[in-house]
Protein backbone atom coordinates (compact mmCIF):
# COMPACT_ATOMS: atom_id res chain seq x y z
CA UNK A 1 0.00 0.00 0.00
CA UNK A 2 1.45 3.34 -0.99
CA UNK A 3 1.03 6.55 0.98
CA UNK A 4 -0.67 9.31 -0.97
CA UNK A 5 -0.08 12.95 -0.08
CA UNK A 6 -2.66 15.69 -0.60
CA UNK A 7 -2.06 17.92 -3.64
CA UNK A 8 -0.85 20.91 -1.57
CA UNK A 9 1.66 18.73 0.30
CA UNK A 10 3.49 17.51 -2.82
CA UNK A 11 5.82 20.52 -2.74
CA UNK A 12 7.12 19.60 0.74
CA UNK A 13 9.58 16.83 1.51
CA UNK A 14 8.14 13.68 3.02
CA UNK A 15 9.27 13.73 6.65
CA UNK A 16 7.59 14.21 10.01
CA UNK A 17 7.64 18.02 9.98
CA UNK A 18 5.79 20.19 7.51
CA UNK A 19 6.26 23.96 7.58
CA UNK A 20 3.07 25.87 8.43
CA UNK A 21 0.84 26.96 5.62
CA UNK A 22 0.73 30.79 5.17
CA UNK A 23 -3.00 30.79 5.82
CA UNK A 24 -2.42 29.26 9.27
CA UNK A 25 -0.62 32.32 10.64
CA UNK A 26 -2.51 35.19 12.29
CA UNK A 27 -1.81 38.83 11.50
CA UNK A 28 -2.81 40.07 14.95
CA UNK A 29 -1.50 38.78 18.26
CA UNK A 30 -3.99 37.00 20.44
CA UNK A 31 -4.86 38.23 23.92
CA UNK A 32 -3.30 36.55 26.91
CA UNK A 33 -5.57 33.91 28.40
CA UNK A 34 -4.61 34.50 31.98
CA UNK A 35 -3.06 37.19 34.11
CA UNK A 36 -1.21 34.63 36.23
CA UNK A 37 2.56 34.96 36.11
CA UNK A 38 4.31 32.29 34.12
CA UNK A 39 7.39 30.41 35.18
CA UNK A 40 8.27 28.10 38.01
CA UNK A 41 6.56 28.34 41.37
CA UNK A 42 8.53 29.00 44.52
CA UNK A 43 9.34 25.76 46.35
CA UNK A 44 7.17 24.89 49.31
CA UNK A 45 8.84 24.46 52.70
CA UNK A 46 9.51 20.92 53.93
CA UNK A 47 6.80 20.98 56.56
CA UNK A 48 4.18 21.96 53.97
CA UNK A 49 5.26 19.04 51.80
CA UNK A 50 4.86 16.63 54.72
CA UNK A 51 1.53 18.14 55.77
CA UNK A 52 0.22 17.64 52.24
CA UNK A 53 1.13 13.94 52.46
CA UNK A 54 0.08 13.28 56.05
CA UNK A 55 -1.54 9.84 55.42
CA UNK A 56 1.72 8.55 53.97
CA UNK A 57 3.73 10.25 56.73
CA UNK A 58 1.60 8.55 59.41
CA UNK A 59 2.15 5.18 57.71
CA UNK A 60 5.90 5.69 57.35
CA UNK A 61 6.26 6.82 60.98
CA UNK A 62 4.38 3.75 62.21
CA UNK A 63 6.40 1.35 60.09
CA UNK A 64 9.63 3.11 61.10
CA UNK A 65 8.71 2.82 64.79
CA UNK A 66 7.94 -0.87 64.30
CA UNK A 67 11.26 -1.48 62.54
CA UNK A 68 13.02 0.38 65.35
CA UNK A 69 11.29 -1.80 67.92
CA UNK A 70 12.35 -4.92 66.02
CA UNK A 71 15.93 -3.62 65.92
CA UNK A 72 15.88 -3.27 69.71
CA UNK A 73 15.09 -6.98 70.00
CA UNK A 74 11.31 -6.90 70.49
CA UNK A 75 10.45 -8.49 67.15
CA UNK A 76 6.95 -9.61 68.15
CA UNK A 77 5.83 -6.16 69.34
CA UNK A 78 7.56 -4.45 66.42
CA UNK A 79 5.97 -6.68 63.82
CA UNK A 80 2.58 -6.22 65.49
CA UNK A 81 3.05 -2.43 65.24
CA UNK A 82 3.98 -2.72 61.56
CA UNK A 83 0.87 -4.82 60.83
CA UNK A 84 -1.35 -2.44 62.82
CA UNK A 85 0.12 0.50 60.89
CA UNK A 86 -0.83 -1.15 57.60
CA UNK A 87 -4.36 -1.65 58.92
CA UNK A 88 -4.49 2.07 59.83
CA UNK A 89 -3.27 2.84 56.30
CA UNK A 90 -6.07 0.61 54.98
CA UNK A 91 -8.63 2.59 56.95
CA UNK A 92 -7.16 5.91 55.77
CA UNK A 93 -7.14 4.72 52.15
CA UNK A 94 -10.77 3.58 52.23
CA UNK A 95 -12.20 6.52 54.21
CA UNK A 96 -10.37 9.60 52.94
CA UNK A 97 -11.26 11.26 49.62
CA UNK A 98 -8.85 11.08 46.69
CA UNK A 99 -7.65 14.68 47.04
CA UNK A 100 -6.47 14.03 50.62
CA UNK A 101 -4.92 10.61 50.22
CA UNK A 102 -1.80 11.82 48.38
CA UNK A 103 0.91 9.28 47.70
CA UNK A 104 -0.74 6.61 49.85
CA UNK A 105 -3.05 6.00 46.88
CA UNK A 106 -0.97 4.27 44.24
CA UNK A 107 -3.58 2.43 42.18
CA UNK A 108 -7.33 2.25 42.42
CA UNK A 109 -9.01 2.37 45.81
CA UNK A 110 -10.03 -1.31 45.69
CA UNK A 111 -6.58 -2.55 44.66
CA UNK A 112 -4.85 -0.48 47.34
CA UNK A 113 -7.35 -1.65 49.97
CA UNK A 114 -6.85 -5.32 49.10
CA UNK A 115 -3.05 -5.00 49.11
CA UNK A 116 -3.01 -3.17 52.45
CA UNK A 117 -5.50 -5.63 53.97
CA UNK A 118 -3.48 -8.68 52.89
CA UNK A 119 -0.19 -7.14 54.01
CA UNK A 120 -1.45 -5.78 57.33
CA UNK A 121 -3.57 -8.82 58.14
CA UNK A 122 -0.77 -11.22 57.26
CA UNK A 123 1.79 -9.43 59.40
CA UNK A 124 -0.66 -9.17 62.30
CA UNK A 125 -1.56 -12.83 62.01
CA UNK A 126 2.08 -13.92 61.92
CA UNK A 127 3.00 -11.74 64.87
CA UNK A 128 0.17 -13.29 66.91
CA UNK A 129 0.68 -16.92 65.85
CA UNK A 130 4.46 -17.30 66.06
CA UNK A 131 5.43 -18.11 69.64
CA UNK A 132 8.02 -15.92 71.35
CA UNK A 133 11.57 -17.19 71.70
CA UNK A 134 12.27 -18.95 75.02
No. of helices (H) and no. of strands (E), the chain? 5, 0
Least confident piece of the model among 8-12, 28-32, 84-88, 105-109: 8-12
Q: Domain tally for the chain?
A: 1
Residue 122 domain-assigned (yes or no): yes
Least confident piece of the model among 1-5, 31-35, 95-99: 1-5
Is a pLDDT exceeding 90 seen at residue 118? yes
Residue 103 domain-assigned (yes or no): yes
Residue 61 domain-assigned (yes or no): yes
Is a pLDDT exceeding 70 seen at residue 42? yes
How many CB atoms lie under 10 A from the CB of residue 96? 16
Pick the closest to residue 95 from 76, 115, 113, 74 (CA basis): 113
Q: Is the pTM of this model over 0.85?
A: no
Q: Is 126 helix (H, G, I), strand (E, B) or coil?
A: helix
Could you give the CA distance from residue 125 to residue 75 in angstroms, rounded to a whole number?
14
Residue 76 domain-assigned (yes or no): yes
Per-residue confidence (pLDDT) for residue 126, from 0 to 100: 94
Contact 72, 81 (CB under 8 A): no
Domain hosting 122: range is 52-129
Per-residue confidence (pLDDT) for residue 44, from 0 to 100: 82
Residue 96 domain-assigned (yes or no): yes
Kindly state the average pLDDT of the residues 90-111.
92
Amino acid sequence: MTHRLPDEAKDFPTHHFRPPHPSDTADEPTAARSTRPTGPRAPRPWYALIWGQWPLAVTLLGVGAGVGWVALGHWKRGSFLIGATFVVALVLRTVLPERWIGLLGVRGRAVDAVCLAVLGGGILLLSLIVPPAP
